[in-house]
Amino acid sequence: MEITNSYETVIVRTDILILGGGMAACGAAFEAAHWAKKHNKSVTVVDKAAMDRSGAVAMGLSAINQYVGLKDGDNTLSEYVQYVKNDLMGIARDDLVANIARHVDSSVHLFEKWGLPIWKDENGKYVHEGRWQIMINGESYKTIVAEAAKKALAELGDDGQYFERIFITQPLMKDGRCIGATGFSIREKKFYVFLANSVITALGGAVHVFKPKSVGEGLGRSWYPPFNSGASTYFTLKAGAEMTCQEIRFVPVRFKDAYGPVGAWFLLFKSKATNALGEDYMETRKDELQKWLPYGAAKPTPANLRNHLMMLEVNEGKGPIYMRTDEAIQKIVDESEDPKTAKRTLKKLEAEAWEDFLDMTVSQALLWASTNVKPEETPSEISACEPYFIGSHSGGNGAWVSGPEDLSPEGYHWGYPNMTTVKGLFAAGDASGASSHKFSSGSFTEGRIAAKGAVSFAVDTNEKPDIDEAVIQQLKEDTFRPLELYNEHKDYANDPNINPNFIKPQMFMFRLQKIMDEYAGGASQAFKTSKPMLERGMHFLDFMKEDSSKLAAEDTHELMRCWENIHRMWQAESHIRTILFREETRWPGYYFRTDFPEMKEEWKVFANCKWNPEDEEWEMIKREVIDLA
Ligand code: SFD
Ligand code: AMP
């Protein structure tokens, strides 16, 4: 244990512990600081990266995708809930969606107050990208939000602190309650033990569980950030919390190879996507939607069904699929009232098209530039990405959390808002499930909701949890085992990456991705899978679980990579188990069960799962979908 013992153990005690530094965590920090001050409590935030540029919003965004406009009377809560429910083919928690939606506008107003430029029209009203989406100049979005969170913590003096570049590994549990977390510094030789009264997990979604389409020289490019590596799912599962919608992966359609988002093109520029022959498949294939009623008739067509129609084209060899940016821009120019201003309109549209990517997916602008794409002249290829796990966009996976007292029906509410089924453990953003379409603004808002609950929990319980020295030592040894293993066996072979005594994290990740891609319906399989395929995948995953104790790391950075892949592996297992459990195809375009190719009324339920820390067994659970809207 020479290496392990060379790491100093640092114990941090706090009342409210916020894990992650992304949108949900920043919202949680902002709100927790407010209530903590009133109740004399302390708040601590821990991020694996630097909050100014961490998480999904690191590169910025060009739209806020959840703004309901309640006060303006533009929309109603129930319309939003209906929209989300349809988009998820009937599977969403109305109470959670409504709770976020009724508070989200005030968060957006705060962002504006803190300096985020939101587009306005000549009447001073927000410029909408779509009904629920508003346009921003969002390159510095995350920096602005992180600054506000840090400022709120600073108001608490010594009772408000944040730790950056600390990787969270495990939950700390005592008598079935979550009392903190362990982690290690990426920069210093320190092992951290955070002890808290209540814990909020907001550790983001999961990327690179499936083999990405970008391999070789493109490895690492993905739509969602590669540093979101399944920590939320791992943390809540390991704590024994019930999880929901682990089967709902999100397969976004994106500009091919650089993953530029399509929303602004479809909604703001009203562009069409066509097959190579110029046919608008949303028109020519609309009869297919009749097979997926009532959701097939919903407006807008659910994201997975839009994908499905596109994939039918590709399967018939009618690709490439193109976003007709040229036609969309020309149409707007043609429709501009005064021909004299047409040139100016064209310039403005060109600038907006480039900025859409420069604000959130810089690499797409680089790809356009390097391949001589002029969006006003050249259509651009789009395609389906690899699957992602993200509870905040058009996916749904995450922890099963308690809803608000005033909205939630029986079974959806068991105490503090956004508390998981584990006492003292809360979840928000990508970490909480069945409340899709929260995006950046809704994740921040849900963080605020969870924080209010977590402060109440800390006030009500008012304990200072402790943990045995021996438990800490064991957790420390588990954390640093990959470093010890490498050190012990490194001289056995010449190549540090090839050694029969251990496996390096990159190799481990490649193996995991291969299993998921080939057996669990990844991109190479056109997202198709079946019971025999899933069972075969599970068989190989069992070997991976065994081999995970042989992960080895040369340094602390690689140690982080080891742990990221342990987290991904748990995300993978819960996904395979839940797809297997749900014997139907509900989200064609995200995945297809070839053995159960149709949607079934009896499966209009939540497919939940749970890993029991006592006997280490998995349990699959059906929960009712209760329609409130
Ligand atoms: O166009 C650990 N998103 C969009 N939202 C919008 O509102 N508008 C858009 O335009 C959006 N689009 C978009 C979006 C994301 C991306 C990547 C692109 C485009 C290119 C989605 C939102 O960004 C997303 O919904 C929220 O950010 C989710 O918030 P949250 O808090 O659940 O996740 P996070 O922000 O990624 O933060 C995660 C944090 O956890 C940290 N972390 N810390 C310690 N230990 C560990 N083990 C950790 N693992 C992770 C991270 O560092 C981070 O701080 S569009 O496509 O629709
Ligand atoms: P995206 O860029 O695909 O992440 O989409 C951004 C926002 O626009 C999200 O709220 C999507 O649900 C929505 N969106 C994207 N494409 C469409 C479409 N074709 N029809 C309706 N809504 C869309």
The active-site residue, picked from 62, 65, 107, 198, is 65
Q: Which ligand is nearest to the CA of 83?
A: 2
3-state secondary structure of 431: helix
Query: What mean pLDDT is reported for the chain?
Result: 97
Residue 287 CB neighbour total at 10 angstroms: 8
Which residue, by CA, sits nearest to atom 5 of ligand 2? 263
In this prediction, residue 543 carries a pLDDT of 98
The active-site residue, picked from 228, 440, 443, 499, is 440
In this prediction, residue 542 carries a pLDDT of 98
Residue 40 CB neighbour total at 10 angstroms: 10
> Please, which pLDDT band fits residue 341 given cuts at 50, 70 and 90?
confident
Ligand 2: nearest atom to the Cα of 263 = 2
Active-site residue flag, 372: no
Ligand 1: nearest atom to the Cα of 23 = 31
In sequence order, what are the beta bridge partners of 162? Answer: 45
DSSP codes, 15-49: EEEEE--SHHHHHHHHHHHHHHHHHT--EEEE-SS
What is the whole-number distance in angstroms between the Cα of residue 109 and the centre of ligand 2? 22
How far, rounded to the nearest angstrom, does the alpha carbon of residue 487 sit from its chain's CA centroid? 35
Active-site residue flag, 47: no
Which residue, by CA, sits nearest to atom 33 of ligand 1? 204
By most ligand atoms within 8 Å of CB, the mutation choice from 267, 304, 306, 359 for ligand 2 is 267
Closest-CA residue to 439 (of 475, 395, 478): 395
The ranges assigned to domains in the chain are 254-384, 481-624
3-state secondary structure of 57: coil
pLDDT digits (tens, 9 = 90+) for 575-608: 999 999 999 999 999 999 999 999 999 999 999 9
Place of tokens 């007292």: 405
> Please, which pLDDT band fits residue 345 given cuts at 50, 70 and 90?
confident
Residue 445 CB neighbour total at 10 angstroms: 30
What is the whole-number distance in angstroms between the Cα of residue 308 and the centre of ligand 2? 15
Q: Which ligand is nearest to the CA of 27?
A: 1
Ligand 1 neighbours by CB, cut-off 6 Å: 20-25, 46-49, 54-57, 61-65, 167-168, 202-204, 223-225, 227-228, 231, 261, 263, 360-361, 392-393, 429-430, 439-441, 443
In sequence order, what are the beta bridge partners of 398? Answer: 244
Mean pLDDT across the stretch 543-548? 97
What is the whole-number distance in angstroms between the Cα of residue 188 and the centre of ligand 1? 26
User: Kindly report the CA angle at 554 between 217 and 237, in degrees rounded to 5?
Assistant: 80
What is the whole-number distance in angstroms between the Cα of residue 418 and the centre of ligand 1? 19
By most ligand atoms within 8 Å of CB, the mutation choice from 57, 62, 65 for ligand 2 is 65
In this prediction, residue 73 carries a pLDDT of 86
> Please, which pLDDT band fits residue 344 given cuts at 50, 70 and 90?
confident
Tell me the CATH architecture of domain 481-624.
Answer: Up-down Bundle (1.20)
Q: What is the chain's length? A: 629
What is the whole-number distance in angstroms between the Cα of residue 34 and the centre of ligand 2? 34
Asked which of 132-136, 335-339, 457-461, 532-536 is least confident by mean pLDDT, the reply is 335-339
pLDDT digits (tens, 9 = 90+) for 192-202: 999 999 999 99
What is the whole-number distance in angstroms between the Cα of residue 259 and the centre of ligand 1? 15
Q: Which ligand is nearest to the CA of 229?
A: 1
The active-site residue, picked from 313, 356, 386, 517, is 356
pLDDT digits (tens, 9 = 90+) for 288-315: 999 999 999 999 999 999 999 999 999 9
Is the pLDDT at 81 greater than 90? The verdict is yes
Ligand 1: nearest atom to the Cα of 428 = 32
Active-site residue flag, 129: yes
In this prediction, residue 1 carries a pLDDT of 85
The active-site residue, picked from 129, 313, 359, 430, is 129
Mean pLDDT across the stretch 373-401? 97
In this prediction, residue 44 carries a pLDDT of 98
Is the pLDDT at 338 greater than 80? The verdict is no
In this prediction, residue 161 carries a pLDDT of 98
What is the whole-number distance in angstroms between the Cα of residue 28 and the centre of ligand 1? 14
Query: Between 469-489 and 556-581, two packed helices, what is the crossing angle to 10 degrees?
Result: 110
Is the pLDDT at 629 greater than 80? The verdict is no
Ligand 2 neighbours by CB, cut-off 6 Å: 65, 130, 133, 252, 261-263, 266-267, 300, 303, 306, 394
What is the whole-number distance in angstroms between the Cα of residue 494 and the centre of ligand 1? 40
Give the global pTM.
0.98
Ligand 2: nearest atom to the Cα of 273 = 19
Contact present, 194 and 20 (Cβ < 8 Å): no
309 Cβ contact partners less than 8 Å away, ≥ 6 residues apart: 281, 282, 285, 288, 289, 589
Ligand 2: nearest atom to the Cα of 303 = 12
Contact present, 16 and 428 (Cβ < 8 Å): no
By most ligand atoms within 8 Å of CB, the mutation choice from 18, 44, 54, 571 for ligand 1 is 54
Which residue, by CA, sits nearest to atom 14 of ligand 2? 263
pLDDT digits (tens, 9 = 90+) for 22-79: 999 999 999 999 999 999 999 999 999 999 999 999 999 999 999 999 998 889 999 9
Which residue, by CA, sits nearest to atom 10 of ligand 2? 65
Mean pLDDT across the stretch 174-191? 97
What is the whole-number distance in angstroms between the Cα of residue 430 and the centre of ligand 1? 8
In this prediction, residue 620 carries a pLDDT of 98
Q: In what order do the strands lie in the sheet with 398-399?
A: 398-399, 243-244, 605-611, 618-624
Is the pLDDT at 532 greater than 80? The verdict is yes
Question: What is the amino acid identity at position 140?
Answer: S
Is the pLDDT at 337 greater than 90? The verdict is no
254-384 CATH: 3.90.700.10
Mean pLDDT across the stretch 321-337? 91
Q: Which ligand is nearest to the CA of 364?
A: 1
- Would 254-384 and 481-624 be classified into the same CATH topology? no
Is the pLDDT at 340 greater than 80? The verdict is no
What is the whole-number distance in angstroms between the Cα of residue 441 and the centre of ligand 1? 11
Is the pLDDT at 335 greater than 90? The verdict is no
Contact present, 206 and 389 (Cβ < 8 Å): yes
What is the whole-number distance in angstroms between the Cα of residue 482 and the centre of ligand 2? 42
Active-site residue flag, 393: yes
pLDDT digits (tens, 9 = 90+) for 246-273: 999 999 999 999 999 999 999 999 999 9
Is the pLDDT at 140 greater than 80? The verdict is yes
Ligand 2: nearest atom to the Cα of 253 = 3
Q: Which helix (H) or strand (E) holds 247?
A: none
DSSP codes, 112-165: HHTT--B-B-TTSPBPBSSSS-EEEEETTHHHHHHHHHHHHHHTTGGGEEEE-S
Q: Which ligand is nearest to the CA of 131?
A: 2
Q: Which ligand is nearest to the CA of 252?
A: 2
In this prediction, residue 128 carries a pLDDT of 96
The active-site residue, picked from 35, 132, 223, 587, is 223
Distance in angstroms (rounded) separating the CA atoms of residues 614 and 75? 47
> Please, which pLDDT band fits residue 391 given cuts at 50, 70 and 90?
very high
Active-site residue flag, 567: no
